[in-house]
Each structure stands twice: as C-alpha cells, then as structure tokens.
Amino acid sequence: MTYDPNYETVIGLEVHAQMVTRSKIFCGCSTTFGAEPNQQVCPVCAAFPGVLPVLNSELVSMAIKTGLAIQGSIRTRSEFARKNYFYPDLPAGYQISQFELPIIEHGQLHIVTDDGVRKRIGITRIHMEVDAGKSVHEGIQGASWIDLNRTGTPLLEIVSEPDLRSAQEAGEYLKKLRSILRYLQVCDGNMEEGSFRCDANVSVRKLGQTAFGTRTELKNLNSIRNVMRAIEYEAERQIDSLESGGRIVQETRLWDANQNTSRPMRGKEEAHDYRYFPEPDLPPLVIAQERIDTIARQLPELPDAKAERYRNDLGLSEYDAGVLTSSREMAMFFEETVSRGAQPKAAANWISVELLGRLNRGGMEIEQSKVTPEQLGRLLALMQNNEISGKMAKQIFDIMFESGGDPDTIVQEHGFKQVSDTAAIAAIVDQVLADNPLQVQQYREGKTKVMGFLVGQIMKATQGKANPASVNAILQEKLSG
Amino acid sequence: MDPTQLSLVQAHAWLSSRQISARELTAAFLERIDRLNPRINAYITVDREGAMAAAQRADDRFRNGTATPLTGIPIGVKDLFCTENLTTTCGSKMLARFRPPYESTVTRKLKEAGAVILGKTNMDEFAMGSSNETSFFGPVRNPWDTERIPGGSSGGSAAALAARMAMATIGSDTGGSIRQPAALTGLTGLKPTYGRISRFGMIAFASSLDQAGPMTWTAEDAAIMLRVLAGHDPKDSTSIQAEVPDYVNTLVNRLDGLRIGIPEEYFPDSLDRETRHALEEAQQVLRDLGASMVSVSLPHTRYAIPTYYIIAPAEASSNLARYDGIRFGYRCEDPKDLKDLYTRTRSEGFGAEVKRRIMLGTYVLSSGYYDAYYRKAQKVRRLIARDFQDVYTGVDLLLTPTTPGTAFPLGEKKDDPVAMYLSDIFTINVNLAGLPGLSLPCGRDHQGLPIGMQLIAPVLKEERLLAAAHAFQSATPWHQRKPEL
C-alpha cells in the first residue's frame, strides 16, 4: 500500500498488559489461563455486597519494574479511582483503575525505524487497573454467558505519546515494549490469549501541519500484524475521506481481520461518562524510595543495553546484536551457547542463520528448539578444536535439529570424527598423488587449479573426515617438494 | 430479676457465677422478641436455632474456662453486616433473600468472643434514612412511643435494645446512624474513628464515611464491645493499624482537668428548648465532675449537609451499581434484553430514597459537574476536618446536642427529604472529619422522650469519650430509664 505523500499518519498506542502475578489484583484467586468458566471466582472479585479490595503487592513491584525499565518517573504517592459503567462482565459496575495520579509517568523506549534510524517514543503514563470478565455470546440463544475467571486479573495500561508515524513504527514499538515486559518477566506477551492487547489512536494530517487531526480509536487488534494492517487501512480511509471533502468523526472502530476492514463500534464504549472519582476503599498508594531503589538494583539487563554490550564487547554486528536481543529467550540461548565455549561471533552466526532459519521454516519459536544452547555450544567447540569440519558440523546440526541429541554422541554414532593425524593424512596424500600422476604433472606445470581436484580425491578417500586445513598444508608441501 | 434487664457487665457476672446459663439467658431474650417484636418491628430476621446453638457453645466455654466478657451475651446485629448463611437484607427488597457465603469481620469477632447473635435488626434501606421509614420490611417503632420513629438508619438496633430485645446491638454510622437513634431511644451509641473497626462484610453505603459501632445501655458496656470490635483487619485496607487500648481500664469517675469545648454553631436559636435546657444541665454535671467548659467555634459547620449530600450519594451511586440482577439479589421477571434487565431490576428492587441518592450521586460525579460538586465538596470536607483539628489544640472533647429535637411522629418528615436530612445536622461533620463521637442520654422532654448529647473526641481518642460518658453516667440516672411496654 502506498500512502499519499502529502499526508503523515499520527499514531498513539494504548497497551493493556496482563501481569503474571500468582493471584488476582484484589483477592487471592488464581490467575491461571484456561480454567473452566467461573472456577476462579470469590466474593471479592465477583463484587458481592460488603467485600473490599486488598491490593496485590506483587503487582506494585511489577509496575515499578516496568516503570524503571522505560525510564519513567515513579510516583511515590499514587491513587486508585473508580471508572463507572454497567456491563455484565464487570461485577462491581465500576473498574478500579488509576486516573489523576498514575503510578508511572514520562517514560520512553527506542525503536529502529525502516531507514535504520533510532527513534525515541514517549510513554505518557502507565497505570494499574483491574481486568473485566468475559461475555460469551456463542452457543446460547437470547442470552449471554458470563465467565468471571479473568475478572480481577491485574493489568498495566501503557499509553504512548502520539509519536509514531507509520504502521511499521507501531509494530516496532509493540515488539520492543513486549520484549521489555518479557525480559522483566512481568507479562507473557501472548496477544492471542489476550495477555497483551493493543488499541490504536490514529489520525492523519497534511505534512507541515502542526495541529493533530481528528483521531479514531481502533479496537480488536489481536496481533501485531493486525495492528499494522488496521492502521494502514485507517490512515488510507481517513486520507480518502479528507481528499473527497469529508471530515473525520471521532469514534471507536472495530477491526475485522477477516474482511480486512473496520467498522464503527456501537454500544457500551460510545459517548460514555465514566464518572471517575477516587476509590474510597483503597488509601493512596505510598511507595518508599527504598523499595524503588531495591527493585532498580535487581533489574535485569534490558534489550538495548544488552545489544550495546554485544556490539562493543563481543564484536557482533548491529544486525546480529538486534536479532539476538529481540527476546529474552534468544539472548539467554546465545549467552548460554557462548558460556559453553563457542566463540561469540560463531555462536551469533549459527543462531541467527542456522537455528533461526530452520525454526522460521517450521514456524517455531526458540523455546521449541530441540537443540539446547549447551549442545550448540559443544558443537561449535568441536568445530573450533578442529575435531569436526564445518561441513560435518552442519550435518550434525541437522540431526540435532530434527531429532535432538548430544553432538558428541552423534559424532560417535555416525563416525563424524575428523582425521587430523598428520601421519595418516600424509599417507593418504602420498597414495592419491601416486594414483594421479597426470594431475601432479599439470600442477607442476602451473595449472594450480588441479589442487581442488586432488583435495577432493583426498577427502573422498577419507570419507570427508580429513581436516581440510591439514590436507591443504600437507598437499602443498608434497607438491612443491 | 428479669435477666433481660441486666447490663452486659451484670450479665457477665451472672453467667460467670452460674446464676444463669447462656441458654436460659438467650431463651429469655427470644421469648421477649416473640412478645414485643410484632409491635416494634426491630428485627428483620430472628435466628432462633443459631442463637441457641451459640448459647450452648457459650455454656461450654464457661465450663472449660475460655469465656470472654462477651461470651453468652445476646446481641442484635444491624442487617447490613454479612452473616454466613444467614439472610442479610440491608433493609432492601434487592437483598430480601440474600444469604452471604462469607462473614463480616464484625460478626466474626463477636462470634469468636462467644457472643450470641439473636438476629438481624431492621434498618433504613441501604442505611439511607434518619427515621427507619425507608426499610422494605416496614418502619420500626420507638419503644418510648410506638407512634414515633426510633431514628435511623440503625433504628432496629436502637429499638431492639431500648425494648430489651437484646443486651447490646451493633449499628453503623455514615452520617449519624448510630448516634441519632441512640439519642432518640435513650441509649449510649458510639461511632468510633473512621477505620477503627473493619468494614469488611459490612454492606457499603458511603465507603469513606461508613463506620460500625456498638449501641449499649452504658458507656462501660460500650467499652467492652469496642475492645472486641476494634483493630486492624488485613481485609480492609482503610482500617487503622493502631494498638487497641483496654477501654474498660481507662474508665474514670472524675473528670478533673478535662477541658470540654462548647461549639457555638451547635446551639442555634432553632434548637429545641428542652434539648438546650438538658444540655445546660449536663454541662453543670460535667463541671461538678471536675471538667471545665470552653466556648469554641467550628466555622465551617454550616456546610455539613450540602457537603455530605454530595459525597455520600456520589459514593453510594457507585457502591450500589453491583446490584444488577446478574450474580445475586433481586432480578426482574422475564427481561427482554440487557437494558431491560438493568432498568427493571433496579427500578423494582430499590426504594424511593435509595433511587433519589443514586440519582444525586450520579449527577454530582457527571462530566462537567464533577469540579463544581464532588471536588468542591472534598475541599470543604478538608476544611471541616481542619476546624476540629484547630479546636482540639485547646480542648480535649466537644459537647453538642446529638439531634435538633426528640423523636418525631411516624410519617412527619417522610415526604420532606430536606427536613429529614436536617435531623442529622449535628452528627454529619463527625463522619466527614472521621472522628469518634458518642451519644448518651442526658434528659427527657415533657412527653418523657429521651434527649441525647454528643461527645466528640480527636482521632483514636475513643477512651476519652468512654471515660467522660462513664463519669457522667455515674452521676446521672438518664441511662437507667426504661420505656414501659
């Protein structure tokens, strides 16, 4: 799709990230996904009369962690508020959220744009809030099912500044944000299960115009791909509308991934007055500076810092460093491989080319790899010690990838051991030279190209197990002798 | 002597010396409830089986030496404290058949102390009212004159106790709902500091104002009750983390050196003449006990009613959103769709006063009105609290009338909400400031109806209230007067 070059798209994203606390935000119910309907519900999360919320302290720690990771400022005094609206899967008739005083403000993260430029994306605020339950309309006539298992699941709502200028940038922002949350181990980032959800605010304006255009809010974007497609569609729709003399109506639109289109949403979200006011059942949340300091000290190394270290200390390329830090699992795989004796550059290469190539073809994630970093590290060490050739290593790796297994065992079982014994190689070289006098003659007359043929004969005689470097050295010596 | 006429302290002595068993005592109260409740309508639910079983356990505790001062004491509980498997109506059609699967912290503590819960007392619907006339279960009658109201919203708890259908009762107080009915029925009613007693399991009216408290015949009985009920509760994040003193040990008979402030704003020209006179006599009693009276001013007093009637309905409009007919409580017949389900469930399930306050609250929180009403009310609330902080630099307690007059006839203010709201004019600011307040009887009018006076203390100084009230009761007969029934 091509944009009208006279327009630019302005995008701000609101992400709802479910935090992986063991229990719900205000009660002791489990947060495990996939339980039978209404099996993880108690009087508190079902909002029975007289019950009261008690804030999950683990959630506060996760919010602080996230705030530090995006370099936000953490309010030592924040406040909960009620957002009032009626809906059957919202048991209290209000959502406990944060409104005027959120826990985190003024953060940022960096993305790399299409033309390779590093760009800062502001994060306006992050606040804690409670998730609603689910209404299920399938399988029942004239009524709906209500499942309250998700009710009370803790969320962080992460609101970006309108700093994004294209669907690609939005996609990069979401990938980076999700990666940070996964590094912190506060959110599993699973968009299909709804643990990482995104709404997009989109507007367009003529290039050079400083005022924002009227925005629309896009919902029902359940993958990064859908976020990008929906933004592209919406930008085009808005530009078409303006170009044909129309104007943009501020509204919420639902994305339909099957039809590749969006339509205005009607119902609960429209023109709602949420009547926010401070939650009287929870005192203001006061966080001691020491708690923030303690969490700051325990913060893991985050993707940007890691990539920088990979470039500067391990000599990796910008591209490899980017690939290997794109997820916590990937970085852990790489670091574990290196710790087993592999050279960093070789490890980076093998992971990003051999392993990811095969995984991508199979539509798999690195967590699903049969090859463990220990095994890859050992394989690369065998190669570096000349015990196997590079060619063997790839064959062994194929077996490891398909069936799993330890490289030493595979080397033994399949007889992959490289011959580096000089005397043994010399004997074979002698034999090959004796068998091919014509080629020896040609070489000595200056046709050095036949060297390749002779090496091939030697490798054939050793079934490929001879160390190529040794073969070359010995052959050279004998031919020039 | 009829055991239903004993104070809590006396009954404990009888039980300890085996002069009476807990079962006999409970049976005597149940018999009295059977006889009097049809006239007074103080109880919505009487739990005969539960009470007798609790009395049996109480007798066991006296035998095995684990009895507490509340063991075997028959108590009535306002019907907004959730009691596990015992119907909890909140005075509303909405919850007429609601049986909670959990126990409020207040009733759990009573049960753990061995108290016998006789039943659940009548109240204004969702605690919204000052006369107990908004109850879905019919009005409560004042035992002093059954053609008059007992006050509200804890009218059932007041009438049950005044008629000796319980030895002590539990009420809740959002704008005066313990103190006002205590005053109108001749009882001692204590509203502790906000957060002193857990709100867990207490059905919310206005969360930032609601506070549970005991209603008793004497300050000494109130001290015993508060000792059991007070304390931090991990289930209520707004409950205060502070030591609970032994309120009985701090009771005194003399008040030497105590400085009592008399706020001029609480003695307007419109104050009932007999109430004014009773308060003047009470001041003389307190002086005789060694206290000194100091004139003080609380300049923001007159904003009490408007401030309260913004904040309380705002919170209520949100707190009552959960009554939607979906998970528990009343549900309309044959809803056509979701909107119909909501509209009819709530239209049919709530009474007029509750609806009025939901509408008020929804309005003041609405976009465009929030700053003018809710935010401004919160600012005024802070000014009202500061008034009290300022005067407590010079006095230890405040003394005011509890109500502008004595119990009024049933129906008199029922259709005049503003007149009804004004009957809480002296009690509301105590809730807005989160302070402890206590009402105790200090006289009678020409018809023999009780007159109450209110003592107000700084935050967490309940022992000061109880000590002053106890000293006053040691020197006066008012708390011993009983209605003839």
Residue A281: list chain B partners with CB under 8 A: 204, 207, 237-238
Q: What is the crossing angle of helices A57-69 and A289-297, to 10°?
A: 60
Nearest CA in chain A to B82: A50
Q: Which amino acid is at B97?
A: R
The whole-number pLDDT of residue A387 equals 78
Q: Is the model's pLDDT at B98 over the cut of 70?
A: yes
The enclosing H or E element of A154 equals strand A154-160
Percent of chain B, pLDDT > 90? Answer: 96
Tell me the mean pLDDT in the region B140-144. Answer: 98
Nearest CA in chain B to A41: B327
Instruction: Based on the residue annotation, tell me whether B177 is a catalytic residue of this protein.
Output: yes
Encode B125-161: b = buried (16+ Cβ within 10 Å), e = exposed: bbbbbbbbbbbbbebbbbbbbbebbbbbbbbbbbbbb
CA–CA dist A468, B53 (Å, integer)? 93
Structure tokens at A355: 């392993």
CB contact under 8 A, A53 and B207: no
Instruction: Based on the residue annotation, tell me whether B78 is a catalytic residue of this protein.
Output: yes
Q: How many residues does chain A have?
A: 481
Q: What is the ipTM of this complex?
A: 0.95
CA–CA dist A474, B135 (Å, integer)? 106
* Model pLDDT for residues A274-329, shown as the tens digit of each residue: 999 999 999 999 999 999 999 999 999 999 999 999 999 999 988 899 889 988 88
Q: Which of B153, B154, B172, B239 is catalytic?
A: B153
Query: Strands B437-444 and B450-456: what pairing?
Result: antiparallel
Is the link from the previous residue into B153 a cis peptide, with omega within 30 of 0?
yes
Structure tokens at A476: 């050279």
State the pLDDT confidence band at A1, using cuts at 50, 70 and 90: very low
User: Which one of A49, A88, A93 has the shortest CB-CB distance to B90?
Assistant: A49
Chain B positions touching chain A (beta carbons under 8 Å) = 80-82, 88, 90, 95, 98, 100-102, 104, 199-204, 206-208, 234-238, 314-315, 317-318, 321-324, 326-329, 338, 342, 362, 365-367, 370, 374
* Model pLDDT for residues B280-325, shown as the tens digit of each residue: 999 999 999 999 999 999 999 999 999 999 999 999 999 999 999 9
- Residue boundaries of the structural domains of chain B: 3-257, 303-361
Chain A: nearest CA to B102, how far in angstroms? 8
Mean of the per-residue pLDDT values for chain A? 90
The whole-number pLDDT of residue A384 equals 83
CA–CA dist B116, B55 (Å, integer)? 6
Percent of chain A, pLDDT > 70? Answer: 97
Q: Which amino acid is at B188?
A: T
Q: How many residues does chain B have?
A: 485
In a 3-state reduction of DSSP, which class is residue A33? coil
Encode B205-234: b = buried (16+ Cβ within 10 Å), e = exposed: bbbbbbbbbbbbbbbbbbbbbbbbbbbbbe
Q: Scanning the structure block, which residue is given the tokens 């609330």?
A: B381
Residues in a beta bridge with B443: B451
Structure tokens at B309: 């009637």
Q: Is the model's pLDDT at A137 over the cut of 80?
A: yes
* Model pLDDT for residues A242-268, shown as the tens digit of each residue: 999 989 988 899 999 888 899 998 654
CB contact under 8 A, B90 and A82: no
Which whole-number Å values give the CA distances from A87 to A52, A151, B321, B332, B338, in the listed order? Answer: 20, 12, 10, 17, 9
Nearest to B286 by CA among B428, B395, B179: B395
In a 3-state reduction of DSSP, which class is residue B236? coil
Q: Which of B7, B78, B423, B461 is catalytic?
A: B78
Residue B483 contacts residue B184 (beta carbons within 8 Å) = no
The whole-number pLDDT of residue A268 equals 47
Q: Is A101 an 8 Å CB contact of chain B?
A: no
CB contact under 8 A, B324 and A93: yes
Residue B234: list chain A partners with CB under 8 A: 54
Residue B40 contacts residue B163 (beta carbons within 8 Å) = yes
The whole-number pLDDT of residue A481 equals 64
Residues in a beta bridge with A202: A11, A216
Q: What is the DSSP letter of B387?
A: H
Q: How many CA atoms lie within 13 A of B33 on its CB side?
A: 29
CA–CA dist B253, B435 (Å, integer)? 24
SS3 for B12-52 is HHHHHCCCCCHHHHHHHHHHHHHHHHHHHCCEEEECHHHHH
Instruction: Based on the residue annotation, tell me whether B318 is a catalytic residue of this protein.
Output: no
Question: Which residue has better confidence, B84 or A114?
Answer: B84
Q: What is the crossing angle of helices A167-184 and A57-69, to 10°?
A: 130
Q: What fold, for B3-257?
A: Amidase signature (AS) enzymes (3.90.1300)
Domains defined along chain A, listed by start: 7-293 (no CATH), 301-413 (no CATH), 422-480 (1.10.10.410)
